[in-house]
Each structure stands twice: as structure tokens, then as C-alpha cells.
Amino acid sequence: MMFAQIGCPTKAETHNREPDVSRILYELCGAEAERCFSPFAWRARMALLHKGLEFERRPTPFTSIARIAPEAGKTVPILVDGDRTICDSWAIACHLEDAYPDRPSLFGGDGGHAAAKLIESWANAAISSRIVQMIVKDIHDILAPEDQAYFRASREPRLGKTLEAAQEGREDRLADLATALLPMHLMLKSQPFIGGAAPMHTDYLLFGTLQWARVASPFSLIDPESPIGQWFERCLDLYDGHARAVKAA
């Protein structure tokens, strides 16, 4: 089995439990442990699958993240790989590439690594920033009550408005999202993946962002018949349909 998944850690568990496998990926979950939706955790999970590495998943609610490994960081994903604890999805991908050079490459060399940084910046600054305003109340609604209170209190000041107000009128913003995705749409005329004939970490960067929306929100952002919709379906099929197996909202 490629990965194992167990329930959200309690305080005692995060401190005392011995790992069952040498790699543990801490992810963000909603009220249901299966509903792991963090775009960054999806990037890390796809990178582990790409490398063909076994790992155990630990779905973690927002209000338990600080207990995972406070010395490493306060966000998920966090990967524990043997004696290394790595916080940050980009750092995790870089670690996997360096630590497992004989496994399929995530970046395809220095040039690919450098270009992937552009894709990460684009996915975060141009795509995630738009999508969050379209799904933020839906994210709130899939969280457990304690997390809901934390999420509202931390996100509304950042947004400068209520979660409800942020999401209002989202249908009118779909054309703007499509414009931001245009570089991807044009690229797909000549190749099936950002990585070329096969996916690479560049694909997982945008995939994580769109999988975040798929798992957290019933609002349809992309036409499944469009070139980007078809690419997304191809990504859902990877690794025996691993990402597709996670329930859509």
C-alpha cells in the first residue's frame, strides 16, 4: 500500500506516537478526516507519489497544527522523513528531489527547478488569490466548530470583509479567473502537462490549487470539458486515481 491514513492527532498522540513508517505527511483536514483540502499539502502529497515513496498521512485540523512540530513551523504540510522535519510544500519538494535522486525527477534539473518557482508564484499570486475569494465561506463550512471560529477570526481581517461578503457574486468573477489561467490554456494546445509529455512538480503546483477548490467547495470553477478541465482530469487519474478518490465537495 502506498500510504496509510489515520485520524487527527490528539495532543498526547502528536508527542508520543512512534511513526509506523519512516515518512509522515501532516495535512490539513476538515471536520471529516478524509477531507484534506490544503493546496500546499496536495502539492507535497503529489510529490511523494511522483517519487513512489511510501508515507503515512496524518490529517490535522487547523487548531492542532501548532502541536505537530512547533520548532519546524506553524503551517501544513509538514513532512517527517526519518530524522528530518520539513515545513513548507516547496521545501518538501526540494528535499525529496535531493534525498531521492534515483527516483523520478520532480524538476528535471536546475533549469526546471528555476522555472517551477515561476509556476509556484503564478499559482499562488494569480490563481489561489482569486480562488480563495470564491470559496472561503465553503472552506469554513467543512471545518469542525473549533476550527470554524479560528478560521473566521483569522481570515476576515486578512480579507477585510466577512467570509460571506468575499464569496458573494463569485459567478461574476469566473471570467477574470479564466483570464488569469490563460497561459495554461494556451500551453495545453501543444502539450498535455506543464512538465511536457508527463507531469512534473510544475503540474502539482497548479493541481494543488484546483484540488483545494474541488475538495472544499461545490462551486464549479473550471468547465470539465475545457483544456484545463481535461488536464485536471488527467491529474486526478494519476497514481491509480489517488486524488480522484478523495470526495469532491
Ligand X SMILES: N[C@@H](CCC(=O)N[C@@H](CS)C(=O)NCC(=O)O)C(=O)O
Q: Is 38 in the site for ligand X (CB under 6 A)?
A: yes
Residues in region 11-30 near ligand X by CB under 6 A: 28
Give the Cα separation of 105 and 204 in Å (integer).
Answer: 13
Q: Which is nearer to ligand X, 29 or 221 (CB)?
A: 29
Stretch that binds ligand X, among 82-90, 98-106, 128-136, 226-234 (CB under 6 A): 82-90
The residue nearest ligand X at its CB is 75
- Centroid of chain to Cα 243: 11
Residue closest to 91 by CA, chosen among 67, 117, 124, 55: 117
CB of 18 to ligand X, least distance (A): 24
Q: Which is nearer to ligand X, 74 or 103 (CB)?
A: 74
Stretch that binds ligand X, among 71-79, 130-138, 191-199, 232-240 (CB under 6 A): 71-79
CB of 189 to ligand X, least distance (A): 29
Q: For residue 246, count other CB atoms closer than 10 A to its CB.
A: 17
Q: Which of 29, 46, 47, 76 binds ligand X (CB under 6 A)?
A: 76
Crossing angle between the packed helical segments 89-99 and 39-51, to the nearest 10 degrees: 10
Q: Is the peptide bond before 77 cis (omega within 30 degrees of 0)?
A: yes
N- to C-terminal Cα separation, the chain? 26
Residues in region 160-189 near ligand X by CB under 6 A: none
Q: Which of 26, 29, 55, 88 binds ligand X (CB under 6 A)?
A: 88
Q: Are strands 23-28 and 55-60 parallel, antiparallel or unpaired?
A: parallel
Q: Is 65 in the site for ligand X (CB under 6 A)?
A: yes
Q: Which is nearer to ligand X, 129 or 179 (CB)?
A: 129
Strand ranges, E, within the chain: 3-5, 23-28, 55-60, 78-81, 84-87
Stretch that binds ligand X, among 1-9, 72-80, 137-145, 223-231 (CB under 6 A): 72-80
Residue closest to 5 by CA, chosen among 226, 117, 32: 32
> Which residues of this protein are in contact with ligand X, per CB under 6 A?
28, 38, 40, 62, 65, 75-77, 88-90, 154
